[in-house]
């Protein structure tokens, strides 16, 4: 059976709806019953980040070399989780996924390995974060949020309490990375940007994903050091060669689209 311009190779239902896996031109993708891809893997290059927005989510590497502890809200097919496991052998990971069936598919169809550094928690991401502001305070270098489905942003993270809790879980120099969708004219994006800006004292920058509706937000905790733009250019070139990801373009776009906040984080 063909669907979404590819071959449907798996289909199931859980309490939250339809899960489908479609293959096209050597790329396997996860769908939640609609055309947008939730996750993709190139079958002959499984460690390559296939989707543009997922690669853009690695832009945090411009500002931090290695994470010791990372929290991921929204596992999906596990692309970001696999990237961290593959490239950072000393990184400990927790991934919170609302749908148990999605976590199973990440293992069975998208190559998410069993690894002692990774703990997968089946829970509502917003609830999990907000319940741990004291027990997990200042634990993580990196909090990554990618909690969209076919209907939009998960309700439990669409509030200022969630972003305040994320800040509490981050170390003093930690970074929040979030995938937002719908463009700067979207009222939800404007509201979320306002919440994050207020909570993180406007140490925020946004990276539009070229040709897509995604914007990647990076929010920096209070003791994030200032970065020299020249040093970042050098780092972007080195990262691009190492990871084969377009970091030099990310840096140019960050400068272009963040005139009001760029100087909070970067010196000339």
Place of tokens 């929204």: 74
Task: Kindly state the greatest CA–CA separation across the chain.
Answer: 55
* Residue 174 DSSP code: E
Q: Is 146 labeled as catalytic in the residue annotation?
A: yes
Hey, what are 206's tokens? 């946004």
**CA-based R_g, the chain, Å:** 18
CA distance 75 to 103: 7
CA distance 206 to 229: 16
Hey, is 129 helix, strand or coil?
helix
Q: Name the residue among 19, 18, 21, 27 with its Cα closest to residue 3.
A: 21
Q: Is the dihedral of CA 168, 169, 173, 178 positive or negative?
A: negative
Of 69, 146, 149, 253, which residue is the catalytic one?
146
Q: Which residues are catalytic?
A: 146
């Amino acid at each position: 059976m063909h669907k979404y311009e590819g071959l449907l190779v798996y289909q199931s239902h859980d309490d939250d709806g339809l899960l489908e896996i479609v293959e096209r031109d050597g790329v396997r993708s996860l769908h939640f019953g609609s055309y947008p891809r939730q996750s993709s893997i190139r079958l002959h290059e499984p460690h390559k980040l296939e989707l543009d927005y997922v690669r853009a989510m690695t832009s945090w590497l411009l500002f931090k070399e290695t994470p010791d502890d990372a929290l991921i809200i929204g596992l999906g097919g596990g692309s970001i989780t696999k990237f961290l496991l593959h490239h950072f052998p000393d990184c400990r990971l927790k991934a919170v996924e609302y749908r148990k069936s999605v976590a199973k598919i990440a293992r069975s169809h998208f190559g998410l390995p069993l690894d002692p550094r990774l703990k997968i928690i089946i829970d509502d991401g917003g609830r999990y974060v907000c319940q741990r502001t004291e027990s997990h305070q200042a634990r993580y270098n990196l909090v990554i949020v990618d909690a969209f489905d076919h209907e939009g942003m998960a309700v439990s993270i669409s509030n200022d309490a969630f972003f305040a809790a994320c800040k509490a879980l981050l170390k003093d120099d930690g970074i929040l990375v979030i995938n937002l969708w719908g463009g700067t004219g979207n009222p939800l994006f404007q509201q979320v940007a306002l919440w994050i800006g207020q909570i993180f004292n406007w140490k925020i920058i946004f990276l539009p994903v070229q040709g897509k509706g995604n914007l990647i937000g990076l929010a920096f905790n209070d003791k994030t050091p200032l970065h020299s733009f020249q040093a970042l250019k050098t780092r972007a070139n080195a990262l691009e060669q190492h990871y084969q990801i377009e970091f030099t373009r990310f840096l140019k776009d960050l400068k272009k689209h963040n005139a009001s906040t760029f100087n909070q984080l970067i010196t000339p």
